[in-house]
Structure 1
Amino acid sequence: MTRLRRTGGQVLVTLARSIAIFVPVFFVGTFVTFALRALSGLSPARIQLGEDATPEAIHNIESQWGLDRPFFVQYWTWFTGVLRGDLGTSWTNGASISTLIGLVLGVSLSVALVALVLGVLLGFVLGTVAALRRTTWIDRAITGFVTVVSVMPAFVVGIALVEIFGVWLRWLPSGGYAELAEGVGPWLAHIILPALALSLDIVADVARQLRTGLVAAYRENYVLGALVRGLSPRRIFFRHVLRNGMGPALAVLGYKFPAVVGASIVTEWIFGLQGFGRFANDAAQAGDVPEVQGVLVVSIAMVVTFNLIVNVVLGRVAPAARREM
């Protein structure tokens, strides 16, 4: 019971420290995001009325949107709405941005989640094997493989996957998206190829970081002490080396998952997916500042949330590793 309370206390301390860091980051991030409208010089009047709009018409439209109020009043109104989940209204079609993003975010999160799972599983296997067979031809082969896949653009891999599995073999759909409500099989069949294309960068980073961490852990004195005490190689690896060496690989995931969600625009075009990346691109091209602000806020929230989760996991892993030493 005492050990359980100590573990819970450590997790709470880690959580509190992370929140203390990420709350100011979120606040500053949203402020900078909102300031982009003032810096951009864009106006809903220009979108709705065109370049020939009169100053009076522009003033009337901006007054309707509350853009004639002081900057900090506008920001506070917008920020309090963000805290309630209201990201504002689109300049182009008057729709709720929260609703619009909600319609496309599920697609990108589905692809990113599967890509993360594939990347973590393959990366952990390759990184572990490379560390256990360090300095051998297996280690060199894995290192060469992850080096190659790390520089391969996701859209090139995506095109190759479509040609192989969608066109030649006809094993999987070459595009489109199926809701999870239609069944796990159709849902997975439509997202596995884009997820695989996006997972290779995760595989490379996780494998490299894990190999480095495990090799460094094997050089620590506690491993030598465990060998002297007669512990088996399996027990040494899982109780000492893995728990102490997996930190860098876990830290990589803190930014990889949000990056996959936000950087999937080309992959979404290739596979015909209307996801978060395409929505962000369309919003930027249309000059719809509230939509762009909504995209940035959601991106910041994903980065903060996922890093918070990773920090808590790291805080849990490290004490566990020290207790087992």
Structure 2
Amino acid sequence: MTRRLGPTLATPVVVFVLASLLTFGLGALSPSNPAAAVLGETATAADIARMNHEFGLDRPFLARYADWLGASLTGDLGRSYFTTIPVSDSIFAALPVDLTLAGLAVLLAVLLGGAAGIGAALRQGGRFDRAVTFVASGLGTLPPFVVGIGLIVVFSVLLGALPAGGYVPIEAGFLPWLRFAILPALALSLDIAASIARQLRTSLVGQLGENYVTGAVVRGLGPRRVLFRHALRNAVGPALTVLGIGVPMVLGGAVVTEKIFNLPGVARLALQASEQHDVPLIQGTLLVTITVVLVCNTLVNLALLRLTPQGGRQ
């Protein structure tokens, strides 16, 4: 495990550097001119040149990238070209929305997918197993925005039980926050829950047929201990891998989901920045999103090293 720990921790660092270079390069090489966009159509060539100098756009690419990356590591992501508000202030004001929503979505995916997968494996070939397989296959084909619209129609329009949109910070109270967060979190979680259920069911069925499980039963160990202390520990690897892959899916799906549910998150901030060609804000949101994804995937890989006998990385 110690030998695998080094690559597990080093890989995200390399990926971060390459992703940050790509993120900065996409903004720097964009055909749109931020100075011209800020100044408007009446700007002269001299005005645009002066603004480019103020923005530092006339400096060499690598020098600008090195300065940007170094400042980013200290939390300074620059300032918006249009509002002059620090990018980090805008992002960290919106980030709690995404983090709490993604956390709830992942929790729901683990609970729903884990319970369904374990139940289906224990009832292999039965009605519950067939029902889980059918529902999981169906949910796996539906994108989050379709699920979100369906949830709004059922729970907001027909039943009137939950709000169709908006957001209440968790600081205002857990239950008020949950009323607004549960539908978008469900919309983001069901696809991942379906994948977890399928992978866990298949893997657990295979582990329950292994000789070590039979030996544990013969030695008199209880069914619950055999399941949770032995079989599930060895079967959880594929489900954890699905969970690691699901984090980027949650963040990617948040772009449309935040639009549907009118949530003031980072995804909506990035969409507004792209519409305005606000390069520092676009680069900042991408860099923060990449960091969140890498941290989550690293935690999943560390969990795989801890829980599975062979360890492993995605």
| TM-score category of the 2 structures, normalised to the smaller one | over 0.9
Aligned counterpart in structure 2 of residue 69 of structure 1, from 59, 68, 80:
59
Letter paired with 1:80 = G
1:320 to 1:243, Cα distance in 2 relative to 1, 3 A: farther
Moved more, 187-196 or 166-175: 166-175
Aligned counterpart in structure 2 of residue 225 of structure 1, from 193, 209, 215:
215
Q: Verify: 1:244 aligned to 2:238, yes or no.
A: no
Runs (4 or more) in structure 1 with deviation over 6 Å come to none
Q: Distance in 2 between matches of 1:228 and 1:247?
A: 26
Report the Cα offset of residue 13 of structure 1.
Answer: 5.6
Q: Distance in 1 between matches of 2:266 and 2:81?
A: 18
Q: How many residues align?
A: 311
Report the Cα offset of residue 69 of structure 1.
Answer: 1.1
Q: Distance in 2 between matches of 1:231 and 1:186?
A: 45
Q: Verify: 1:57 aligned to 2:47, yes or no.
A: yes
Q: Which residue of 2 aligns with 1:84?
A: 74
Contact 2:188/2:253 (8 A) holds in 1: no
Report the Cα offset of residue 210 of structure 1.
Answer: 0.8
Q: Which residue of 2 aligns with 1:186?
A: 176
Structure 1: stretches of 5+ with no match in the other structure: 1-9
Q: Which residue of 2 aligns with 1:200?
A: 190
Q: Distance in 1 between matches of 2:124 and 2:29?
A: 53
Report the Cα offset of residue 109 of structure 1.
Answer: 1.6
Moved more, 217-226 or 235-244: 217-226
Partner SS state of residue 87, structure 1: coil
Q: Verify: 1:285 aligned to 2:247, yes or no.
A: no
Partner SS state of residue 263, structure 1: helix
Q: Which residue of 1 aligns with 2:11?
A: 21
Q: Verify: 1:126 aligned to 2:86, yes or no.
A: no
Q: Distance in 1 between matches of 2:167 and 2:298?
A: 30
Aligned counterpart in structure 2 of residue 137 of structure 1, from 101, 122, 127:
127
Aligned counterpart in structure 2 of residue 31 of structure 1, from 21, 26, 43:
21
User: Which deviations, in whole Å up to 9, do the C-alpha atoms of 1:239-297 show, x marking residues without a partner?
Assistant: 21100000110111113123212321222122221112211111112111211111211
Q: Verify: 1:40 aligned to 2:13, yes or no.
A: no
Q: Verify: 1:306 aligned to 2:296, yes or no.
A: yes
Moved more, 298-307 or 310-319: 310-319
| TM-score, with length taken from structure 2 | 0.93
CA RMSD of aligned residues (A): 1.9
Q: Which residue of 2 aligns with 1:165?
A: 155
Q: Distance in 1 between matches of 2:245 and 2:36?
A: 36
Report the Cα offset of residue 171 of structure 1.
Answer: 2.1
Q: Which residue of 2 aligns with 1:6?
A: none
Letter paired with 1:295 = T
Q: Which residue of 1 aligns with 2:101?
A: 111
Q: Distance in 2 between matches of 1:85 and 1:18?
A: 25
Q: Distance in 2 between matches of 1:286 and 1:150?
A: 34
Letter paired with 1:153 = P
Partner SS state of residue 116, structure 2: helix
Report the Cα offset of residue 37 of structure 1.
Answer: 2.1
| TM-score, with length taken from structure 1 | 0.90
Q: Distance in 2 between matches of 1:259 and 1:88?
A: 27
Report the Cα offset of residue 51 of structure 1.
Answer: 4.3
Q: Which residue of 2 aligns with 1:209?
A: 199
Q: Distance in 2 between matches of 1:114 and 1:259?
A: 14
Report the Cα offset of residue 299 of structure 1.
Answer: 1.5
User: Which deviations, in whole Å up to 9, do the C-alpha atoms of 1:100-150 show, x marking residues without a partner?
Assistant: 111111112221111111111000010011111112232111100111111
